[in-house]
Amino acid sequence: MISRRTALITGGAATAVVAGGAGVVGLAGRENPEPPSPPSSDGKGHTLWRNWSGIAHSYPVQRAAPKDAAELATLLKTAPAPVRVTGASHSFTALCATAGTLVSLDAMSGVIGWEGDQAIVAAGTRLGALGPALAEKGRAMANLPDINKQSLGGALGTATHGTGTHLKAIHGDVTALTLVTPGGAIIDCDAQRRPEVFNAARVSLGALGVISQARLTTTPNRRLRRRVWVEPFEESLAKAEERWATHRNFEFYAVPFTGLAANIAHDETDDATENNGPSEDDALLNVLKGLKNVLGFSTSLRKAAAKAMLGGVKPETAVDEGWKLLSTERPIRFNEMEYHLPAETQLAALQEVVAVIEKHRPDVYFPIEVRRIAPDDAWLSPFQGQPRGSVAVHAYYRDDYQFFFALIEPIFRRHGGRPHWGKLHSLKGADLAALYPHWTDFLEVRRELDPEGRLLNPYLKSLFGLA
């Protein structure tokens, strides 16, 4: 058994040797070129906004950063429409794109109060800052997504989630919120006060108004032990349900063209902090990219090389506060499609996804992320009504991602999947109405709160069947 660090260093060197022996002129030369960038401003001098992966952009005529709910209310009522809010711009869709007004809530951030063990958090707070702020009070979020850059408002708007059979997505821990509407109203709502607004606003894609703050259930700030290990993909499939039932947090990554899966489990512990050093995920991706570049012509050789490099890696462990382990940096850009499937169909869908990629797309090398999420009752929550399992397919930002729609999405839809609101998908109003029992209820609340459509950009109009 060797460490993952040693395996990655050795793997990178071995890939380079194979490349040289095969007469390949530099791995970097096999990489697709940088996608063309839009102009930094339009013909009227409006500055470019672009999302994290680079595939959505616009030129807002106005930008604003209100300091409180009152200023936000005035802005929503008077600013050039459509008015959209951006946090980390991490959604892969055009949710934030606007030729009107682009709003940042960065000036409205931080933990602004407590009601017992429930934290009142400003919506502009980044998740990476929320962890240490709650930890000062000995509290923590029950669960977190794997990327720490999102704002709380953005995470709620798109139903951002972590993993854990008994753990809800972030919006599932919201017990009250304040919504500022396009008409300038400030609505405080919860399960008793304006319940229809509360049910619609917890996951709303920013289409009802702008959440200025939310009250969140928190848990004691416990240390977690993280264990990461690599094993055959078939073994991960066979043991996944048992592991979701056993571990506080469990997920695994199916790695196409390797026959392997990387598993990650987190469990509460009283053990002392045990830091295992910096993340090696980027190095792993570079090795997988190298194998694709050099051995992409032969699936069997590619799998054999991957198993030789990574199959004998020993498990790694780390112990730290949960917010430090669950949510981290993701510096390598990519595009992504993620669907949330009924728990009973998730793994069958995953097997089909891996098979179709290995049959048709030898250029793919990003691991496929597999998680499980507890149900909640928000109207547009992908997890509304039943436990769901997520399957997320990625493509390097320089690579083609259109195969998501041609090859992957039909599998997800056939298995009853609901798309992640911040990830790529092709569904529109009629498709979504069939998946969400409260779709019509949501649209009625939207019409009540934004009758003039001031928050509707072209993407949302299309999504809601209003284009």
Cis before 82 (ω within 30): yes
Whether the CB-CB separation of 125 and 111 falls below 8 Å is answered with yes
Q: Which residue has the higher pLDDT, 328 or 140?
A: 140
Instruction: Say if residue 381 is exposed, middle or buried (CB neighbours under 10 Å; 0-12, 13-18, 19+).
Output: buried
Rounded to whole angstroms, the maximal C-alpha distance in the chain is 70
Kindly tell me if the per-residue pLDDT of 22 is higher than 50.
Answer: no
Whether the CB-CB separation of 177 and 198 falls below 8 Å is answered with yes
Q: State the average pLDDT for the chain.
A: 92
Which residues are bridge partners to 264 per DSSP?
228, 251
The CA distance from 148 to 260, in Å, is 27
Which residues are bridge partners to 240 per DSSP?
none
Kindly tell me if the per-residue pLDDT of 463 is higher than 90.
Answer: yes
Q: What residue type is 185 in one-letter code? A: A
Tokens at 438, concatenated: 């409260």
Question: Which strand (E) or helix (H) includes residue 265?
Answer: strand 260-269
pLDDT attached to residue 31: 78
pLDDT attached to residue 102: 98
The CA distance from 250 to 331, in Å, is 23
Nearest of 228, 325, 220 to residue 273 by alpha carbon? 325
- Split at pLDDT 50, 70, 90, the class of 329 is confident
pLDDT attached to residue 13: 44
pLDDT attached to residue 316: 92
Instruction: Say if residue 238 is exposed, middle or buried (CB neighbours under 10 Å; 0-12, 13-18, 19+).
Output: exposed
Helices 4-21 and 281-295 pack at an angle, to 10 degrees, of 20
Kindly tell me if the per-residue pLDDT of 28 is higher than 50.
Answer: no
DSSP H helices, 22-142, are 69-78, 127-135
pLDDT attached to residue 77: 97
pLDDT attached to residue 277: 65
Note the pLDDT tens digit of each residue in 109-136: 999 999 999 999 999 999 999 999 999 9
Note the pLDDT tens digit of each residue in 341-395: 999 999 999 999 999 999 999 999 999 999 999 999 999 999 999 999 999 999 9
Q: Rounded to the nearest 5 degrees, what angle is found at the Cα of 354, between the Cα atoms of 352 and 356?
A: 65
**Strands 260-269 and 316-321, sheet pairing:** unpaired
- Split at pLDDT 50, 70, 90, the class of 331 is confident
The CA distance from 219 to 234, in Å, is 35
Whether the CB-CB separation of 394 and 353 falls below 8 Å is answered with no
Whether the CB-CB separation of 64 and 100 falls below 8 Å is answered with no
- How far does Cα 250 stand from its chain's mean position? 16
Backbone dihedral angles phi then psi of residue 121, each to the nearest 5 degrees: -120, 130
Backbone dihedral angles phi then psi of residue 186, each to the nearest 5 degrees: -120, 110
Helices 233-246 and 343-360 pack at an angle, to 10 degrees, of 160
Q: What domains sit in the chain, N to C, each tagged with a CATH number?
A: 223-419 (3.40.462.10)
The CA distance from 450 to 210, in Å, is 11
Q: b/e string for 35-61 if b means 16 or more Cβ within 10 A? A: eeeeeeeeeeebeebbbbbbebbbbbb
Kindly tell me if the per-residue pLDDT of 464 is higher than 90.
Answer: yes
Note the pLDDT tens digit of each residue in 251-266: 999 999 999 999 999 9
Mean pLDDT throughout 450-465?
Answer: 97
Kindly tell me if the per-residue pLDDT of 318 is higher than 90.
Answer: yes
- Split at pLDDT 50, 70, 90, the class of 20 is very low
Tokens at 82, concatenated: 């459509």
The CA distance from 341 to 415, in Å, is 7
Cβ neighbours for 467, distance < 8 A, ≥ 6 positions apart: 458, 461
**Strands 49-50 and 57-58, sheet pairing:** antiparallel
What percent of the chain shows pLDDT beyond 70? Answer: 92
The CA distance from 29 to 36, in Å, is 18
Cβ neighbours for 25, distance < 8 A, ≥ 6 positions apart: none
State pTM to two decimals: 0.94
Backbone dihedral angles phi then psi of residue 102, each to the nearest 5 degrees: -105, 125
- Split at pLDDT 50, 70, 90, the class of 310 is confident
pLDDT attached to residue 27: 43
Note the pLDDT tens digit of each residue in 219-254: 999 999 999 999 999 999 999 999 999 999 999 999
Kindly tell me if the per-residue pLDDT of 16 is higher than 70.
Answer: no
Kindly tell me if the per-residue pLDDT of 46 is higher than 90.
Answer: yes
pLDDT attached to residue 279: 63
Sign of CA dihedral 132, 137, 138, 139: negative
Note the pLDDT tens digit of each residue in 394-439: 999 999 999 999 999 999 999 999 999 999 999 999 999 999 999 9
- Split at pLDDT 50, 70, 90, the class of 278 is low
Among 33-42, 59-68, 277-286, 389-398, the range scoring the smallest mean pLDDT is 277-286
Q: b/e string for 314-324 if b means 16 or more Cβ within 10 A? A: eebebbbbbbb
pLDDT attached to residue 7: 43
The CA distance from 176 to 180, in Å, is 14
Mean pLDDT throughout 322-344?
Answer: 93
